[in-house]
Structure 1
Amino acid sequence: MNRVNMDSEQNISEDARSKGKLGLILVGVSGALVAGLYAIATPFVLPALRKVCLPYVPATTKQIENVMKAIRGRKGNLIDIGSGDGRIVLAAAQNGFKSVGVELNPWLVWYSRIMARNLKLSKQAQFYRQDLWKMNTSEFDNVVIFGVSQMMSDLEDKLSKELHPHSRIVACRFPFPTWNAVDIIGEGVDTVWIYDYKCDQHRK
C-alpha cells in the first residue's frame, strides 16, 4: 500500500472517530434536554391524568380584585386551595391576612416562595406542596378555591365536615352545587361566589 492510500485511510478513520464522538455528545445532550423537559413538564401534565383534572390556569387581575372584594372586612387567616403561582395568597398577605397556599406542582410552589421573599412577605404568606384532598382546612377562617366543575361536589362534602361556623368560602370560576351563595361578584370567567359557613344548612 502506498503512502497516499495509507494517509487517506488514516484521515478517514480519524474523521469517523470524530463523527462518532460528536454523535455521542449529541445523543448525551439530547438525552439531558429530554430529561430536563420531562422533569419540568411532568408536574403540569400529571393533573390531567388524575381522576379529577385540576390544571394550572393563572388568575386574571380582575379575578384577584374580585377575591379581594369578597374577603374585604374579614379577619383571621386564609388558605388558597390550588394556589398556582401564588398571586391570590400574596395579594391577601398584602391586605393583612396570614395566608397559606397549597399546591401540588413543586415548580409553582418554588416560584411562589421566591415571589413572597422578593415582596418581603415570607412571614405573612407561606406555600406548601400538598394534595388538597389530604389536608385539613378546619383551622382557616377564609378559603379560596379555583376549582373545576367535576370536583366541586366532593369539595363541598369535604369542607362541610371541616370548616368552623364563621368560615367564608370564595369559589372562583365554578360555584358549589348545593350551597347558596350570599353574594356573587364579577361575571364570566372572573366570577366569584361567596359562601358564609355560619348556618346549619351547609352541614351534611
Structure 2
Amino acid sequence: MQKVISATVEGFQCTGFEMNSILTGYARVKAKWKGIPSNTASFINQDFWKTDLSKYNNVTVFLAPGVMEVLGRKLENELPDETRVIACRFPFPDWTPTATEDEGLDQTWAYDMDAIRKLSTQA
C-alpha cells in the first residue's frame, strides 16, 4: 500500500487492492494522516483477481514470483494498450520490460501493454 501513497504524492490517482482488512484499514489511516484525500488514494478490501482491471491505465504490482505468470495473462486480457505496468522486486517471466531501475531488492521493471502485445503476436 505504500506504493499507492507514494504514487499519489507524484500526482497519480490510485486504487490499492488488499485482501487483508487490517492492512486496508491501516493504509486508509496512513493516507488520511498524510493528508491524502480519499478521492486521490483509495484502498479496497477486495481480491483483485476477481476484479475487472480494464479501467486502469497504470498498474503497480508487488507479488510473489510464483503468481507473476498467471497475473501477466490476466493483465494481457484486461488492460488497455496504453497501460503501463510496474513490477516491484519480481519481474514478469515472459514479458520484456520497457525499462528497469535499481537492482536487488529495490529493482523495478516497467512494461507497456502495447509493446507486450506486439511481442506476443510475433512469437
**TM-score of the superposition, structure 1-length normalised?**
0.56
Aligned residues: 119
- Unaligned runs of 5+ residues in structure 2 are none
**Aligned partners of 1:201 and 1:175: how far apart in 2?**
19
Aligned partner letter, 1:143: V
Kindly tell me: are residues 202 and 151 of structure 1, through their superposed partners in 2, closer, same or farther at Cα, counting changes over 3 Å?
Answer: farther
1:160 touches 1:203 (CA, 8 Å); kept in 2?
A: no
Cα displacement (A) at 1:196: 0.7
Which residue of the partner structure matches residue 102 of structure 2? 186
Kindly tell me: are residues 165 and 118 of structure 1, through their superposed partners in 2, closer, same or farther at Cα, counting changes over 3 Å?
Answer: same
Q: Secondary structure at 1:93's aligned position in 2?
A: helix
Q: Report 1:102-117 matches (<5 A).
A: 102-117=17-32
List per-residue Cα deviations over 1:108-167 (Å, max 9, x = no partner). 100111111112212210000111210111111110000111101100100000010100
Which residue of the partner structure matches residue 118 of structure 2? 201
The sequence identity of aligned pairs, in percent, is 36
Kindly tell me: are residues 125 and 102 of structure 1, through their superposed partners in 2, closer, same or farther at Cα, counting changes over 3 Å?
Answer: same
**Aligned partners of 2:33 and 2:90: how far apart in 1?**
32
Q: Report 1:5-84 matches (<5 A).
A: none
- CA RMSD of superposed structures (Å): 1.4
Q: Report 1:81-100 matches (<5 A).
A: 86-100=1-15
Which residue of the partner structure matches residue 77 of structure 1? none
Q: Report 1:85-164 matches (<5 A).
A: 86-121=1-36, 122-164=38-80
Q: Secondary structure at 2:110's aligned position in 1?
A: strand
**Aligned partners of 1:176 and 1:102: how far apart in 2?**
19
Cα displacement (A) at 1:177: 1.3
Q: Radius of gyration: which is bigger?
A: 1
1:173 touches 1:192 (CA, 8 Å); kept in 2?
A: yes
Kindly tell me: are residues 126 and 175 of structure 1, through their superposed partners in 2, closer, same or farther at Cα, counting changes over 3 Å?
Answer: same
Q: Secondary structure at 2:7's aligned position in 1?
A: helix
**TM-score of the superposition, structure 2-length normalised?**
0.90
